[in-house]
Amino acid sequence: MENMAGVYAERIQEGTAGCHGGINEPNTHILNVEFTAIPSNPQPVFLDPASPAISCGNGSIASRSSSPHVPVDDPPANRVRIPGTLLRPAGRGQHLQPRTRAASRPSQPAPRFSMANDTPHRRLIVLEPYFGGSHRAFLEGLRDNLPLPCTSLLTLPARGWKWRMRLAAPWFARELQRLAPPTPDESCCLLCSSFVDVAALRGLLPQPWRELPVCTYFHENQFAYPVQNQDQRDLHFGITNCTTALASDRVAFNSAHNLETFLAGCRAVLRKAPDMSFGDLEAFIRAKAVVLPPPVAFDDIDCAPDREAAPPTPVILWNHRWEHDKNPESFVAALLALDRRQVPFKLVLMGQSFRHQPAAFATVEQRLRHRLLHFGTVTSRAEYVHWLKRADLVASTARHEFFGIAVLEAVRAGCRPLLPNRLAYPELFPEEFLYQEGCFEKELERLLQNEPRLAPPRARQLTEPYSWPALADRYQEWLFPAPATRG
């Protein structure tokens, strides 16, 4: 998914926090939503509010010191957590500098929930082995919008996804033991992404961790995630997703499209298993599954200034990943055809790029340079929002989309969407914004000639159901459901 300031310690580099518009992710990782340290080496950092010490992944302890700087590599002499501080980033072998929190933060919005006095202390422990992009934005939103008094975030950088799926479970099982175990007066829950092998994790966890309820959120599933060549698909990763769903207490999918393609993949692969019958496994998974869209933070888009006047030439926006599954070839082919017919348009082409990318993007740079207002990744979230506001129309020709955060962000900024009538898009937008197979070029030209930009009330109406204010209650209930009452 392509998804995503106030200053908080996680956003170390301006514009590098989870963004769907092409801000490339840094090689950093964060393991707590209240106390944050980001070392330059790939060792994890554990900053658990319930722990008596701040433990760094290399075995050292950040401790109270008479100096305002706390050396990372000091021996664990005084294992005392530094209360009320945020740890600023430092280079390897340097220091973590605590910054005292303000005593009160009147500018902070009030919590969106009221909790009864008899509600047990709620503790959420998040396990995310691929902390980047939409995964990161989702967890940052969770931190900012759910009133949980204690949340621990254990993460690894967003790279090497196959290694993460294979080995995150034993790694997390070991590292969880460094945190304070759950207590009887806590309502404690583990939240995992689908990159965690939950079946293996539960088998490796000691008591009392093994008894905790596990919620797994599926941003994607490996049965339907696109590969360039179908022969490259390793079904073992899909099977891991399947056993994860079976071993989790509750599972959520970001779209019905994601859920249905996952269940179809489970059916297909289990039919291949020799001499084994699994009963109604699909019904078992479906009974504990919900469709829960990933909420989008629109605040910075809403606060950004609108453009002063409509440009004389309509602006087309591409803000998706620069990868083959987004089908840039069809998008560029339509642009070239419009260019030959001298249809007026300008182009903003941004999105997360990679070392190897489809040749279609080089074609744009070479043959459509005269149409370009922007080409390539952006350096900050503010720049990303700026280009959203400049555009009139956001288009997709994707072969794969489990949700569509980048499109929702563009629509919130006022862009009219032009989307294929398939994948997850029909769940998000009415038919007037969808095109049929083979009709992209025709519909694009029609919209360019008819003032495509949305009025602000229409843009808000289309996107507000996917905002945090609209969805936060549903996440609270999914993570910590109310006890069932007896009749």
**Phi and psi at residue 244, in whole multiples of 5°?**
-65, -45
Among 35-39, 326-330, 434-438, name the one with the lowest average pLDDT: 35-39
Whole-number Å distance between alpha carbons of 431 and 421: 8
Q: What is the pLDDT of residues 394-442, one digit of tens each?
A: 999 999 999 999 999 999 999 999 999 999 999 999 999 999 999 999 9
R_g (Cα) of the chain, nearest Å: 23
- The pLDDT tens digits for 364-377 are 999 999 999 999 99
Q: How far apart are CA 49 and CA 180, in angstroms?
A: 9
Q: Evaluate whether the domain defined by 1-88+119-295+468-487 bears CATH number 3.10.50.
A: no
- Residue 93, token pair as written in the block: 């072998």
Note whether 1-88+119-295+468-487 and 299-466 share their fold: yes
**Centroid of chain to Cα 280:** 31
- Does 208 sit behind a cis peptide bond, omega within 30 degrees of 0 on the bond before it? yes
Beta pairing, strands 95-100 & 289-291 = unpaired
Distance of alpha carbon 407 from alpha carbon 417, whole angstroms: 7
Cβ atoms of 151 and 190 closer than 8 Å: no
**190 strand-pairing partners:** 125, 214
From 172, 143, 177, 187, select the one nearest 244 (Cα to Cα). Answer: 172
Per 3-state DSSP, what percentage of the chain is helix, strand, and coil (rounded to 5)? Answer: 35, 15, 50
The pLDDT tens digits for 285-321 are 999 999 999 999 999 999 999 887 777 899 999 999 8
Residue type (1 letter), 482: A
Q: Give every CB contact of residue 52 below 8 A, 6+ residues apart in sequence.
A: 79, 80, 81
pLDDT, position 426: 98
Tell me what pLDDT residue 73 has: 31
Find how far residue 14's CA is from the centre of its chain: 18
On whether the CB atoms of residues 254 and 403 are closer than 8 A, the answer is: yes
* Residue 302, CA atoms < 13 Å, CB-side half-sphere: 10
Query: If you write DSSP's letter for every residue of 392-452 in order, what string do you get?
Result: SEEE---S--SS-HHHHHHHHTTPEEEEESSTTHHHHS-GGGEE-TT-HHHHHHHHHTS--
Would you say how long the chain is, in residues?
Answer: 487
First and final CA of the chain: distance in angstroms?
A: 43
Domain ranges for the chain: 1-88+119-295+468-487, 299-466
Indicate left, alpha or beta for 436 from its phi (over 0: left) and psi (-120 to 50: alpha).
beta
Residues 6+ apart with CB under 8 A from 62: 37, 53, 54, 55, 56, 70, 72, 74, 82, 87, 96
Q: How many CA atoms lie within 13 A of 202 on its CB side?
A: 18
In the prediction, which pLDDT does 233 show?
72
Q: Which CATH superfamily is domain 299-466 in?
A: Glycogen Phosphorylase B; (3.40.50.2000)
pLDDT tens for 122-152 read 899 999 999 998 999 999 999 889 988 778 8
Taking alpha carbons only, the member of 138, 192, 137, 142 closest to residue 169 is: 192
* 191 vs 31, residue with greater confidence: 191
pTM of the full predicted structure?
0.76
pLDDT in tens, 169-212: 999 999 998 888 888 888 999 999 999 999 999 999 988 899 99
Closest CA to 130 of 164, 167, 153, 173: 164
Coil, strand or helix at 324: helix
